[in-house]
Structure 1
Amino acid sequence: MSELAPKPLPRILHITERALWDAARERGAYEMSTRGRTLQEEGFIHCSTRAQLPRVAAFLYGSYDGPDELVVLVVDPALLDVPLKYEAPKPGAEEFPHVYGPIPVAAVVDVEVWR
């Protein structure tokens, strides 16, 4: 009798500015929590599921007119070396993935341009 392999966790997403991602690649880890706030300021990195991404992008970057294009970091949770928790901003609300520490560059398995 063979054991079933654990189901892999779905990939999580984080939208950011290309320049911030480029700087993270040089450092080896990504440490921005959300638009204009660092991991140190917020305590975790805000992420989303694929289904949540359009709403998150509209909320954070709906009026974005910055010089850099926006990119979506596709993160494989199995490659994180810090805790990942799904949490709601208030009781009964939708849960979002939060990464409690820097995201290693190696955990970002794809980068998509956001339009």
Structure 2
Amino acid sequence: MLLHVVPLADWSAAPEGPYAPASLAAEGFVHCSADGPAALAVVDAHYREVPGPLLVLVIDEELLTSEVRREGSGGTLFPHVYGPVERTAVTSVLEVRRDADGRVRELVPRA
């Protein structure tokens, strides 16, 4: 399983097609994490100031048609999806709960 952090507004923007965040056009891949703690660390490091609800997409790598590469430096590897994410590959959606300062508290199933 791969995890991808996304603002609710971005995930909801084009519900009929594959998900293609801005990073796909800008960097050539979709940033992902390998587990919950890594996804929460990404939220704390890069999304603290992002307003509104944040989601974590749980992606079944076997259902993707795009290539997945694990890349990084310093011994930390992150999965990168080199193409759009088919919505059929998203097996569940979690919601990020944050405190008043934007720090992560937990991941919970989205109702």
TM-score by length of 2: 0.80
Deviating beyond 6 angstroms after TM superposition, the runs of 4 or more aligned structure 1 residues are none
Unaligned runs of 5+ in 1: 1-10
| Distance (Å, rounded) in 1 between the aligned partners of 2:8 and 2:57 | 10
Residues matched between the structures, number: 96
Unaligned runs of 5+ in 2: 98-111
| Distance (Å, rounded) in 1 between the aligned partners of 2:14 and 2:70 | 24
Q: CA RMSD in A?
A: 1.3
Matches within 5 A, 1:62-77: 62-64=48-50, 66=51, 68-77=52-61
| Distance (Å, rounded) in 1 between the aligned partners of 2:47 and 2:5 | 9
Aligned twin of 2:79: 97
Return the structure number with greater strand share: 2
- Identity score, percent: 40
Matches within 5 A, 1:20-99: 20-26=10-16, 28-32=17-21, 37-50=22-35, 51-64=37-50, 66=51, 68-88=52-72, 90=73, 92-99=74-81
